[in-house]
Amino acid sequence: MSELPFPNEQQNSGQRALAQHDLTALQVDLENQTQSTRRNHELTAARLKDLAASLTVREQAMKTNGSRLALTRNAYELGMITLLEVETVENSIYQSTQAYYDALLDYVDTYIDYARLHGKPLPMPAFCQPVK
């Protein structure tokens, strides 16, 4: 006659308690990651809106700067202003152009973060193209 082993209830109870603890820890970790992802989504979406508005303003400024430079050069040719004033305008246009491209880079970087957050690539907006 063979003997059947008695189940060790203390050992099984300990394993169940350990498994329950691990499950609870995983659920808490999942909830924390979910909340973090939601916060990141909200922050990134708000940042995208701000950067898009900034790009629009900077693009308008660049268009205005083109006509401003033409008027400044015309005034210089007519002897109404000095070369230093022309160079000052050119420098400010250079700085505003650089600021536009910096803002564009920030927008694209944030857009990539947003796409990664959602796990799929998103289409680029039309205004997020280099100015020609």
pLDDT in tens, 5-26: 666 666 677 788 888 888 899 9
User: What Cα–Cα distance (Å) separates residue 13 from each residue in 7, 25, 27, 75, 122?
Assistant: 11, 18, 21, 91, 50
Q: Which residues contact 127 (CB under 8 A, 6 or more apart)?
A: 52, 55, 56, 59
Write out the two tokens for 6. 């008695």
Confidence of residue 51 (pLDDT cuts 50, 70, 90): very high
Amino acid 129: pLDDT: 65
**Per-chain mean pLDDT for the chain:** 84
- Provide the whole-model pTM: 0.63
